[in-house]
């Protein structure tokens, strides 16, 4: 069977990822860049043999391990797709370099640092200033509900029900999940909605239209951290999401529940948080295991 050229094959591969796996726009763009970059190095990907792919290991030798693993994974999936479609009779993907990147541990904020951050935000909000009320709502939802930065800034008014303590969140790959909103976060959110400028469809609108940007959220959070006496380099929306997960796990949350709350498709992604609570896990085994109780 005669297959398409590189451009057609890549377009078909990306269409499959979007339709069958729900790949997000950013993920598709990254795959397109990786495949195009490989093609620039070795020529036609559709026609490439194992010797050509082996050359990529040398060309990529200076890349960070995570970047190398991502590029190789994109190509392996691409060649698997070509074989499945009958556009190639062999899969040369085994010639690609294999390197499992070490997963970086999330930066953490202590309970004391969280307390300092929220004490300042609450004091600011106590003045009734709309900007301060918005800031309190933002950090309450980051730390209290574990939202991703994009999920937070793009949160639609329609996703905030009046009579249920849940938000309807559209996460990566367009997957929807219900996220509980605690009493503190709910109170902060209601306080902001009372003074929120009219118009628009987002909970956190931008004066220029649309919604608050991720960059602006990052800036606001670092400014708050600096005024609270914290190292602003340690504080970001993602760090507050990590703190949400870490502190819930410390409090006894089940890993599967945490997976659902965070919107992780794979439990392996959630398991990165288990390193932060090793002492509790050891104590749990010592207290609950039948043989431990007998001894």
Q: Which domain holds residue 63?
A: 6-95
Q: Do 30 and 155 sit in the same domain of this protein?
A: no
Q: Do 88 and 127 sit in the same domain of this protein?
A: no
Is 71 tagged catalytic? no
Q: Do 116 and 209 sit in the same domain of this protein?
A: yes
Is 264 tagged catalytic? yes
Task: Tell me what the mean pLDDT of segment 140-145 comes to.
Answer: 87
Residue 26 belongs to a domain with what CATH number?
Answer: 1.10.150.130
Based on the structure, what is the number of domains in the chain? 2
Rounded (10°) CA dihedral 68, 69, 72, 76: 180
In a domain, 191, yes or no: yes
Given 44, 70, 95, the domain boundary residue is 95
Of 91-100, 107-116, 262-271, 278-287, minimum mean pLDDT range: 278-287
Q: Do 115 and 73 sit in the same domain of this protein?
A: no
Element (H, E) at 15: helix 6-20
In a domain, 158, yes or no: yes
Residue 278 belongs to a domain with what CATH number?
Answer: 1.10.443.10
In a domain, 100, yes or no: no
| Options 32, 70, 184, 264, the catalytic residue | 264
Q: Name the β-bridge partners of 179.
A: 167
Angle between helices 237-250 and 214-227 (to 10 degrees): 70
How does pLDDT run across 227-253, given as a tens digit for each residue? 999 998 889 888 888 888 777 777 777
pLDDT of 293 higher than 60: no
Q: Do 181 and 273 sit in the same domain of this protein?
A: yes
In a domain, 106, yes or no: no
Residue 292 phi, psi dihedral angles, 5° rounding: -65, -40
Is 214 tagged catalytic? no
Is 241 tagged catalytic? yes
| Options 148, 202, 242, 247, the catalytic residue | 148
Two structure tokens written together for 133: 């009320």
In a domain, 103, yes or no: no
Q: Do 202 and 245 sit in the same domain of this protein?
A: yes
In a domain, 17, yes or no: yes
**pLDDT in the model for residue 53:** 87
Is 111 tagged catalytic? no
How does pLDDT run across 152-186, given as a tens digit for each residue? 898 888 888 776 687 878 776 677 777 888 888 88
Cβ distance 238 to 263 under 8 Å? no
| Options 71, 88, 211, 241, the catalytic residue | 241
In a domain, 261, yes or no: yes
Of 199-208, 270-279, 284-293, minimum mean pLDDT range: 270-279
Confidence (pTM): 0.58
| Options 32, 70, 76, 172, the catalytic residue | 172
Two structure tokens written together for 97: 């370099």
Given 64, 95, 126, the domain boundary residue is 95
In a domain, 240, yes or no: yes
């Amino acid at each position: 069977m005669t297959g398409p050229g590189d451009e057609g094959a890549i377009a078909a591969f990306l269409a499959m990822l979007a339709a069958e796996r729900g790949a997000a726009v950013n993920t598709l763009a990254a795959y397109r860049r990786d495949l195009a970059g490989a093609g620039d190095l070795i020529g036609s990907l559709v026609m490439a043999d194992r010797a050509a792919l082996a050359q990529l290991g040398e060309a990529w030798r200076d890349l960070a391990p995570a970047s190398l693993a991502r590029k190789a994974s994109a190509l392996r999936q691409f060649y698997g797709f070509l074989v499945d479609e009958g556009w190639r009779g062999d899969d040369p993907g085994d010639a690609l370099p294999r390197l499992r990147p070490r997963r970086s541990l999330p930066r953490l904020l202590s309970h004391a640092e969280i307390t300092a951050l929220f004490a300042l935000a609450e004091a600011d909000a106590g003045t009734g200033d709309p900007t301060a009320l918005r800031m309190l709502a933002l950090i309450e939802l980051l730390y209290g509900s574990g939202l991703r930065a994009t999920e937070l800034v793009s949160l639609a008014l329609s996703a905030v029900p009046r009579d249920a303590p849940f938000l309807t969140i559209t996460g990566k790959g367009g997957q929807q999940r219900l996220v509980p909103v605690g009493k503190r976060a709910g109170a902060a959110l209601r306080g902001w909605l009372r003074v929120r400028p009219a118009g628009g469809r987002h909970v956190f609108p931008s004066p220029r239209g649309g919604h608050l940007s991720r960059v602006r959220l990052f800036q606001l959070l670092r400014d708050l951290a600096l005024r609270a006496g914290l190292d602003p380099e340690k504080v970001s929306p993602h760090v507050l999401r990590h703190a949400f997960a870490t502190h819930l796990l410390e409090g006894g949350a089940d890993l599967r529940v945490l997976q659902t709350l965070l919107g992780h498709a794979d439990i392996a992604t959630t398991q990165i948080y288990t390193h932060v609570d090793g002492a509790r896990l050891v104590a749990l085994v010592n207290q609950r295991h039948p043989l431990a109780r007998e001894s």
